Structure 1
Amino acid sequence: MSEKKDNPRAEIDAIDDELLRLLNKRATIALRVGEVKRRNDTSLCDHNREMEVLTRLRRQNSGPLDEQSVTNIFQRIIDECLHVQQSAFHQSAGIDGTETPTKNFSGKERVAFLGERGTFSEEAAKKLLGETCETVPRATFETLFTAIDEGSADYILAPLENSLVGSVHRCHDLLLESSLGIAAEIILPISHFLIGCHGASLES
């Protein structure tokens, strides 16, 4: 047996090296695809194509990874390649992504957010602009991004990334399609609690 076969860690290291090479090759191809989309003025995000890729990989999977694991891994790869495309787009548009611009807020601004009152988005808006800001709920991403043009808000607060699912593709698309720019950024940690009656069980 070879030295790598006798040493599982060395074998894993060699596989990781090859994975890294292939992932960078994939990202390079994604950049070429993104450039074509930019020239054709089409969306960087293609949900139908993503579903095709994930479905094909789940069908080809022979284990021991289960279908959900395969989906999680390749969804993250897709998201990171999309992020590379978006960074290249911003660079070509003269947007410096190395530092998020900041702005001093008075606390009296009107800010539109996605969802109903009491959501994490409204909490993020108040943390960023102050408790005295006026929050304006919007039902969809599309109506969120039109709030300023309609005169309903001075700013919008849009989720661009989620640590569980990666990039929020629709928001990235709408941001690129709009004339809006990023004025500030907030990262909001989120905690959920499972609450029940005393003595209750999950089975009941």
Structure 2
Amino acid sequence: MTRPVTHIIRLLKWGRILARHGALRAIEADRNTPAQVKRLCRIARFGTIQPKVPDYAGAFRAIGPAAIKLGQTLATRPDIIGEEAAHNLLMLQDQLPPAPFDQVYAQIDNSLNKPAAALFDYIDPVPVGAASIAQVHRARTNEGKDVAIKVLRPGIREQFARDIETYEWAAAHLEALGGEAARLRP
């Protein structure tokens, strides 16, 4: 069980990232945002230089894979977040930078419970595609069959679980404030 202070530290860190990308402005300006949340936004923004146009996608990328997935979901809800934010978040559908191949190769070894060299003659170090959770590499088996290997990013399970736990903690506290937040049931 994660201590509340750990969740608060994570949320403050993420809030600073959101602030540096100008992504808190709309939350702060919304009349339905609870006063407590507006105060937290002001604290997160303190001392930051913000762009004129918010970069929601950049903020979510900087926060990490769980935030990218959240952003991809929010991009489908312009009725909740607005057209501008939804359009910006659509950039999260684009290819992301790949994880370093040496880490990916080690992940393949660990996932298959045997050395990748025992199964594959060749694995292309340049991925066909890279997303928030996994990337895909072309490979050739020892039998000469061309295949695609989908590899989870190193450490993704643990990071995703930590982040989701904090999201759930924050959502429960936000919902407890009542009003629009309770109606939306975050």
Q: TM class, shorter-chain normalised? A: under 0.3
Task: Name the larger-Rg structure.
Answer: 1
TM-score normalised to structure 1 length = 0.20
Higher helix share: 2
TM-score normalised to structure 2 length = 0.21
